[in-house]
Structure 1
Amino acid sequence: MIDVQGSGSDERLRRIEAVTDAALSQLDVKDLLAELVDRVGEVLGVDTAAILLLDLHAQQLVATATKGLKDEVREGSRTPVGRGFAGRVAREKQPVLVENVTAADDSALFDRGVRSLLGVPMFAGGELIGVLHVGCLRPHRFTSDDVQLLQLAADRASLARRTRASGLDRSAALALQRSLLPTHLPDAPGVDMAARYVPGHDAGVGGDWYDVFTLPSGWLGVVIGDVSGHGLQSAVVMGRLRSALRAYALVCDDPASALTLLDRKIHHFETGNLATVLYAMISPDRAIIRVSLAGHLQPVLAAPGHPADTLTIPVDLPLGIGPRQPARRCTEVAFPSDAVLICYTDGLVERRGEIIDVGIDRLCAAVEPGPAEEVCARVMSTLAGEQATDDIALLAIHSATRRIP
């Protein structure tokens, strides 16, 4: 006796395995989608199959992989959302079955001879990213199992697409950040400098940055900042803030004024983003530092004959909090000869389960006056030996000018 129920279960399992096979993960996205439409066509016994991915900005579906539709749905051809069968699936965002296709449903597919269609939407993170549909050249009644199987295939394609998009975002973010973080700090008389950046996230990129530039007046601009979040979006915002602050530095005589303008810029053009920023200006003779802090940690100064300690500088609100804030403050401090200034982001000193003051004390204990590169290396080996859980940016500026008392 044949076990009909068992045979049906085995066949269902075989069909599911065909579209969820782990071996598909070894293919690149384009080959995977092409293989998926072939397998879907085989297991469902249909004549046509197509995957169309959504171009969000154009609101068009782009044919990416097809089977049995090379002339009617060419790879790269576009269909507006809402038009034709695929456009209807995208608009309704749910499975659509048409047992008797007419020209009104989709003229291109009807002219091809397709008489029955089944389509399902593709989602990633709850957002529509495409459509997968199959068709038969003869009238066909698709079952609920067919719908579930096609949705499984669509989910598999969505996962591949999301993985590729994540990889592209990561590559774009890394390229952007590499273009914005200085590969070499500028040569400036009277100081030597060193910096470090360590990503603390899987994306390998975040919103931390540092910058050093010489102003026309001879003052040296020093910036370190932290945009909230990680990944491409934070890197993009970071790039905008870096460029804007450089522009404001050219027209402002003190750091507080520049940060005030930057705060207005964030509130107006970057609503919803927050950032902490330290902006300092070092005088042409390298004897004075003017500093303004927008929610950022106080820098550390180590001078000969004195233990390293944080500078007593008032901390104003972070950037992006809102339009009405107290006036930002600028503090002027001495920069002794052979002293070293340490600017950093919170990833260097924050540790889970301990207050941040402990980390700052640890940093101060690791800082001694000396060449910037040696100071940076010592700080990183002492405080960043373990896997970072947040981005770390570190900037050391050593006053190499020998001044007569």
Structure 2
Amino acid sequence: MAEARGSSIRLRVLDTVTDGALKQLDLDKVLEVLLQRSRELFRVDTVTVLLVDRGGTQLVARATTGLEEEVFQGVRVPIGRGFAGRVAQQREAVQIERVDPSTVVNPLLWEHGLRVLLGVPMIAQGELTGVLHVGSTSARRFTDEEVDALQLIADRLAVAVYVDRTRSERAAAALLQESLLPSRLPSTPGWELAARYVPGAESGVGGDWYDVFELPGERIGLVIGDVVGNGLRAAVVMGRLRSALRAYALEYLDPAQVLGKLDRKASYFETATMATVAYAIIDTATCRMSLAVAGHLPPVLAVPGEPARFVPVPVGPPIGFDLGVSGRRGTGVDLPPGALVALYTDGLVERRGEDLDAGLELLRGTVGPMGPEEACSRVMAAMVGDRPATDDIALVAVRHSA
């Protein structure tokens, strides 16, 4: 009899999770439908889904039936603590037959008279997305078949959450990236500017950025940077670094000092973050560029009558992890009339299976003392052509046109 009942609940759960109609529903409706069906199938009093927060350290009540207060009150459970935290940490089913402060951290569970709980992890693509648990006010023991059946539902929910989160993060990252790139480049007499940004076809929007801004004292600030990683998190970190660098640029005249301050800020507040950055200041009165580089590829300089060359700047360690504690150094170069400088991210010159030096040499041979818009067009045609970029590409060109 028990074996027949176990087989029966598995078949009913399979019918539920393979229902084609679920594909047409958004995440909220999928949660609502599957939680209500789970409550009926397992004959329990509560069914709850808690999702892993962005920081990956807590579970947040996202949907429930029978215990709506959990969602209304924004219940949070640290991963590793209590019943749900234990399910998340161990990534395996957990069943408890005593619900009190010694076994759970959420008082709503024992206040509602729950006597038993069964929880299973929600995992998709190897990533923990949350925990699904059911509870009963009557004493009972969930069978192995019921545990397996609940895991089937958790797996279906995990996929729905993963897809929804991935789609939302990509859209949010794209919007954030677009909002942080300069809507227009400064118009400074005697200096022309152009830029390109292309998100990677494989990685999607990431942490590459460029920035150009006017500074007091007839100066122009140029920034090119690349936060390690991709997606929403990289874009958010990029936005914070961009804003911090702009603030430091108003306070300090030396690009090396600005990168030193940015490194300290990132190392202290942006834990587990690394970025490469090149920051240059062009003094339009003296026609001289001062430059500092943190782990980034050096700019290309093309002066009329001379072969294009990479600016010989000391390359310090990347931003983050207190790697630049020994100090940062910069350099200065003259920009005579007709000179063009191109700053870029590594996505422009790196290709899987191809030599980086070959990519750099191709870039150097393409850049010349031409207009910045023409330079960007030629560089993108030579370096990208008809192949989609696998990584983000940012490119900024500035020419002394006086």
**Superposition TM-score, scaled by structure 2 size:** 0.82
SS of residue in 2 equivalent to 1:18: helix
Compared CA separation, residues 282 and 128, structure 1 to 2 (3 A)? closer
Between 73-82 and 254-263, report the one with greater CA deviation: 73-82
1:395 corresponds to: 396
Percent identity between matched residues is: 43
* Deviation, structure 1 residue 324: 5.9
TM-score (norm 1): 0.81
Question: How far, CA to CA, are the matches of 1:101 and 1:251 in structure 2?
Answer: 57
The residue type equivalent to 1:391 in the other structure is: D
Task: Single out whichever of 210-219 and 300-309 deviates more from structure 2.
Answer: 300-309
Q: Deviations over 1:3-24 (max 9, x none)?
A: xx99986874453242244552
Work out the CA distance in 2 between the residues paired with 1:162 and 1:346. Answer: 30
Deviation, structure 1 residue 305 = 2.9
- Aligned partners of 1:211 and 1:223 also within 8 Å: yes
Partner SS for 1:221? strand
Could you tell me whether the CA contact under 8 Å between 1:342 and 1:397 is conserved in 2?
Answer: yes
1:353: how far off? Answer: 2.2
SS class of match (1:379) = helix
Q: 1:90 aligns to what? A: 84
| Equivalent in the alignment of 2:47 | 50
Is 1:298–1:312's contact at 8 Å kept on the other side of the alignment? yes
The residue identity in structure 2 corresponding to 1:183 is: S
Over 3 Å counting, the alpha-carbon distance change for 1:47 and 1:227 in structure 2 is closer
| Equivalent position amino acid for 1:398 in 2 | R
1:121 counterpart = 2:115: no
The 1:90/1:309 distance shift into structure 2, 3 A limit, reads same
CA distance in 2, matches of 1:191, 1:353: 38
Match of 2:158 in 1: 158
Return closer, same or farther for 1:393/1:148 CA change in 2, 3 Å cut-off: same
User: Counterpart of 1:62?
Assistant: 61
Q: Partners of 1:331 and 1:173 in 2: how far apart?
A: 34
In the aligned structure 1, how far is the partner of 2:192 from the partner of 2:250? Answer: 23
Matched, 1:131 2:129: no
Q: CA deviation at 1:346?
A: 0.7
Offset of residue 221 of structure 1: 1.0
Contact 1:19–1:40 (8 Å) recurs in 2 = no
Residue aligning to 2:252: 252
Cα offset for 1:269?
Answer: 2.5
SS in 1 for 2:350: coil
- Give the 5 Å matches for 1:1-400: 12-13=10-11, 15-21=13-19, 23-44=21-42, 46=43, 48-54=45-51, 56=53, 62=61, 64-66=63-65, 69=66, 73=68, 76-78=71-73, 80=75, 89-93=83-87, 94-96=93-95, 98=97, 106=109, 109-110=112-113, 119-124=118-123, 127=128, 129-133=130-134, 135=136, 142-200=142-200, 202=202, 204-285=204-285, 287-320=287-320, 322=322, 325-385=325-385, 386-400=387-401
Residue deviations 1:129-175 (CA, integer Å, cap 9, x gap): 2333154x877654211111011102211221232223333233223
- Letter matched to residue 288 of structure 1: R
The answer to whether the 8 A contact 1:291-1:330 is kept is yes
Contact 1:96 1:119 in 2 (8 A): yes
Contact 2:7 2:145 in 1 (8 A): no
RMSD: 3.4
The amino acid of 1:73's aligned partner reads E
How big is the shift at 1:350? 0.9
Question: Tell me, what secondary structure is at the counterpart of 1:261?
Answer: helix
Query: What one-letter code is carried by the residue in structure 2 that aligns with 1:159?
Result: V
- 1:16 maps to a residue whose letter is L
* Alignment length (residue pairs): 382
Any idea what SS the aligned residue of 1:227 has? strand
Code of the aligned partner of 1:340 = L
1: CA distance, partners of 2:269 / 2:5:
62
- Which residue pairs with 2:90 in the alignment? none
Mapped to 1, the partners of 2:60 and 2:397 lie a distance apart of: 51
Distance in structure 2 (CA, Å) of the matches to 1:277 and 1:60: 35
Look at both structures and tell me which one has the larger radius of gyration over its CA atoms.
Answer: 1
After TM superposition, give the deviation of residue 383 of structure 1 in Å.
Answer: 0.8
Q: CA deviation at 1:348?
A: 0.2
The AA in structure 1 aligned to 2:49 is L
**1:153–1:129 Cα change, 3 Å:** same
* Distance in 1 between residues matched to 2:273 and 2:99, nearest whole Å: 49
- Decide which moves more: 252-261 or 316-325: 316-325
Q: Is the 8 A contact 1:89 1:121 kept in 2?
A: no
The one-letter code of the counterpart of 2:84 is: A
Shift of residue 395 of structure 1? 0.3
The whole-number CA distance in structure 2 between the counterparts of 1:62 and 1:294 is 42
Alpha-carbon offset, residue 220 of structure 1 = 1.0
Q: What SS is found at the alignment partner of 1:281?
A: strand
Q: Could you say if the C-alpha distance between residues 107 and 307 of structure 1 is closer, same or farther in structure 2, counting changes exceeding 3 Å?
A: closer
Aligned equivalents of 2:292, 2:99: Cα separation in 1: 69
Q: List alignment gaps of at least 5 residues for structure 1.
A: none
The Cα of 1:289 is off from its aligned counterpart by 1.5
Q: Counterpart amino acid of 1:332? A: G
User: For residues 71-121 of structure 1, what are the alpha-carbon distances to aligned partners after superposition, in whole Å with 9 as ceiling and x for unaligned?
Assistant: x63684348568xxxx964144243265x999x9956654xxx8x855323
CA–CA separation in structure 2 for the residues paired with 1:317 and 1:60:
36
CA separation in 1, counterparts of 2:82 and 2:256? 55
Distance in 2 between residues matched to 1:149 and 1:210, nearest whole Å: 51
Classify the secondary structure of the residue corresponding to 2:253: coil
Distance in 2 (CA, whole Å) between partners of 1:324 and 1:305 is: 37
CA gap 1:63/1:242 in 2 versus in 1, 3 angstroms: closer
Shift of 1:391: 1.3
- Give the distance between the partners of 2:248 and 2:325, measured in 1 at CA: 19
- Structure 1 CA distance for aligned equivalents of residues 268 and 82 of structure 2: 38
Determine helix, strand or coil for the equivalent of 1:338. Answer: coil
